[in-house]
Amino acid sequence: MAQKPRLDIDKLLAGAGTGSSAGSWIKWGGSGIAALLVAALIWSSLRGESRVRYTTEPATRQELVVRVTATGSVQPINQVDVSSELSGTVRRVLVDFNSPVKSGETLAELDTDKLKATLESSRAKVAAAKARVLDAEATVIEKQRELMRKRALANKQFTSTADLELAQAAYDRSEAALASTKADVGVAQADLTLNETNLAKACICSPINGIVLQRNVDPGQTVAASLQAPVLFTIAEDLRQMELQVNVDEADVGNVRPGQQASFTVDAYSDRKFPASIRDVRFASETVQGVVTYKAVLNVDNSELLLRPGMTATAEIKAIEIANALVVPNAALRFSPPAGDAAQKRTLLQRILPGRPQFRAASKREVASADRTLYVLRDGAAVEVRVRTGASDGKFTEIVSGEIKEGDALIVSQSISKAN
């Protein structure tokens, strides 16, 4: 592939030696532009002294509210999973999603034919055991009478001692047999009670008053109750009173406590704020994607039934509320003027161009002690003032002590320009 001819700048600039008028024009034109730039810079540097211009904002008194933002979800206060303790086939399901139920109301029924047959068998076993007790009691009476006759004959020496001992042994065996049959009655009665309980548990009932949130079973379905009972229904107790569970960052949990007021929004009603109050802040921590958080539980009034379980919510908690606080903008706390000799060390171009606003980060000592530095514009000069800060809402910070009063002009930035 053929290459396009490339313009050789050196040859073009050297064109004056070869008689090229274009090269001579470019060479002298570039030199002229450079000379003009140098002259402009020198003229600008000699034109006048630098002037520092400050941008200020006043210290004000206002209500300072520190809000903690946290996300979570709306949940019922009491939610119950209903399972079956028995294995069997579901014969009927009497409720559906969103069905209101009362405590003790039947939700579903298992097939009871086998359970009823087992119950009848247990009743028959109890009756048979009781009949054996009557037989054993009659035998005891019989053996007791025979023993008494043997003793009377033995006293008159009409019978041998061996016969008396045989009669005594027969009587003792009848007593033991009676005790055994009575125990059999207890066993049979216990089996009967167990089978009656199983028959009652074939009717799956609601343990609370509430609303059915989930239904995981249909008629004809086989339920296998093993080590982990299957969840057939999920019931929420009362959706008019719900709770909001939010994750509070560990940096904010120190300002959050029970009784504080809050508001939250959900995506379904983004233009409406719902009120809430903190009921509890749990001590157990939760780590979500490497971030340590603590669960806060808020009470929510859902009388209008607008909120539904599982809705994602963003809450704002009023952690600190200070009336008539003396506050300063956070930009003033970040401002720091350049060093005194910085202007002398700048290049010619830097001296001509306006300087950028100077900011500084708070030192570790300042953060730990809450002692910060502000610069106040007084008589046209920046005056350094040490203050002690308090709460901050992200835009403004409370001044707890220091020589700052309402209306003071606080420097937030500066620029440098040339005087005419």
- How does pLDDT run across 267-286, given as a tens digit for each residue? 999 999 999 999 999 999 99
Q: Count other C-beta atoms under 10 Å from residue 246's C-beta.
A: 25
- How large is the average pLDDT for residues 213-234? 89
Q: Is residue 338 part of a domain?
A: yes
Bin 71: left if φ > 0, else alpha if -120 < ψ < 50, else beta.
beta
Residue 303: per-residue pLDDT:
93
Select from 277, 299, 321 the last residue of a domain.
321
Residue 296 lies in a domain: yes
In a domain, 313, yes or no: yes
| 4, part of any domain | no
Name the band, by pLDDT with cuts 50, 70 and 90, for residue 103: very high
pLDDT of residue 49: 55
3-state SS assignment for residue 17: helix
117 and 95 within one domain = no
Both 117 and 230 in one domain: the answer is no
- Of 294, 321, 348, the one marking the end of a domain is 321
Residue 72, domain CATH? 2.40.30.170
CA 240 to chain CA centroid, Å, is 21
Same-domain pairing of 92 and 230: yes
Number of compact structural domains in the chain: 5
Whether residue 181 sits in one domain with residue 130: yes
Are 339 and 291 contained in the same domain? no
Q: Which residues are registered as beta bridge partners of 387?
A: 372, 402
Tens of pLDDT, residue by residue over 366-413, are: 443 468 999 999 988 889 999 999 988 889 999 999 999 999 999 999
Question: Is residue 197 assigned to a domain?
Answer: yes
What count of residues does the chain have?
420
385 found inside a domain: yes
Query: 331 and 411 in one domain?
Result: yes
Sheet holding 79-83, edge to edge: 79-83, 231-236, 210-215, 100-101
This prediction has a pTM of 0.63
Range of the domain at 284: 67-77+238-321
